[in-house]
Amino acid sequence: MKLTKVIEAVGYGVSEEIGGIEKKVYYTPDGRQFISSPRIVTSVDKKTNRTMVRDSNLDKGWLLSKPTKLLPHCNNCGEWHKNKAEIIACGVRQTRLLASTKKAQKAHLKTLPKEWEEARGDTKSQILEKKVADLTKLVEQLLKEKENG
C-alpha cells in the first residue's frame, strides 16, 4: 500500500497511459471530454512556399480547452449549432434535401439501361427469370451449332 501511494505521488499510475503514441485531451463544443492521439497534417502553401503543420482534429470542431459556453449537438448534420432554433432549421433543411434527392433518384433510375434491373427496382425473381431465359437461349444455340457442325 505504501508503495502505491509513493508511485502516485511521483506521478506514475495517475493516468492509464504508459508510453506509446502521444495522446491529448480534446473537448467537443457540447462539453464532452475524450482522449485521442493528435492527427498532425503538414501542407505547403503554394503562394508563399511555407510549410504548415496543424492538428486535423481541430478541423472537426474539437477544442483543446473546455468550452465556457456549451453548444447543442445536432443529430441531423452531426455538427454543433448556436441554439435550438438552428437545430430545427437544420432538420427542416435535411428533410427537404432528402425528399428532393428521392425524387431525383427515382427519375434517374428510370433512365438506366436494361442491364441494371436491380438498380431500377425489379424484384430478384424477375431478374432470375430473365437470366434463366438468357441461359436457355444460349444452350439451345450451342445444341443447334453442335447438330449442324
Please, what are the averages of pLDDT over each run of 10 residues along the chain (149 residues)? Answer: 60 56 87 88 88 88 89 86 86 77 68 56 69 89 86
pLDDT at residue 136 in the model: 92
Q: If 0-12 CB within 10 Å is exposed, 13-18 middle and 19+ buried, where does residue 142 land?
A: exposed
Task: Report the run of H or E that residue 54 belongs to, with start and end.
Answer: strand 50-55
**End-to-end distance of the chain based on CA atoms, in angstroms?**
94
